[in-house]
Amino acid sequence: MAVAPANADLEQVPGLPTDDEGVVFAAPWEAKAFALVVHLHQRGAFEWSAWVKALAAEIAADKTRGAATPYYQLWLTAAESLMTSQALIDGERLNTTRATLRAAQTSAPGHDHVH
C-alpha cells in the first residue's frame, strides 16, 4: 500500500522501509504508529523537521546500544519522546497507558509477545 501523507516529506525520514509502491509495514501496529505521527504533524502538533530529528536521534542512539531494535519500535519510541517533549501527553500518563496496553496484550489469548 503506497502512502503519501500531505505536508510530510518522507524522503527526509531516515531508514524508512519502502518498496516500489511506498511505505511498507510488517504488522498493523506499525501502520498505526506511522499514521499517528503523520496525523499529529498534519494537525500542527510539531514541525516535520522536529520529527525527523527525533527519529534520527533514536536511530543513532540505537546504534550505540549494540543490538538492533526493529525500525518501528524506534519510530514509536521517538514518537513518545517527541509527544512528551511537546507536552502532547504527560509522561506519567504515557507510562500508565503503556503498562495497561502491555498487560492487556500479554494476557490476551494467542498473544505471546508485546508490541
Residue 26 falls inside a structural domain: no
Spatial separation of the C-alpha atoms in residues 109 and 4, rounded to whole Å? 35
Which residue bears the cell 506519567?
92
Number of domains in the chain: 1
Q: What is the pLDDT of residues 48-84, one digit of tens each?
A: 999 999 999 999 999 998 888 999 999 999 999 999 9
How much of the chain is in helix, strand and coil states, percent to nearest 5? 60, 5, 35
Q: What is the pLDDT of residue 86?
A: 86
Residue 22 falls inside a structural domain: no
Residue 100 falls inside a structural domain: yes
**H or E stretch including 28?**
helix 28-42
R_g over Cα of the chain? 15
Residue 97 falls inside a structural domain: yes
Q: What is the pLDDT of residue 96?
A: 77
Residue 63 falls inside a structural domain: yes
**H or E stretch including 23?**
strand 22-23
Q: What is the pLDDT of residues 12-47, one digit of tens each?
A: 888 899 998 889 999 999 999 999 999 999 999 999
Task: Provide the domain limits for residue 113.
Answer: 39-115
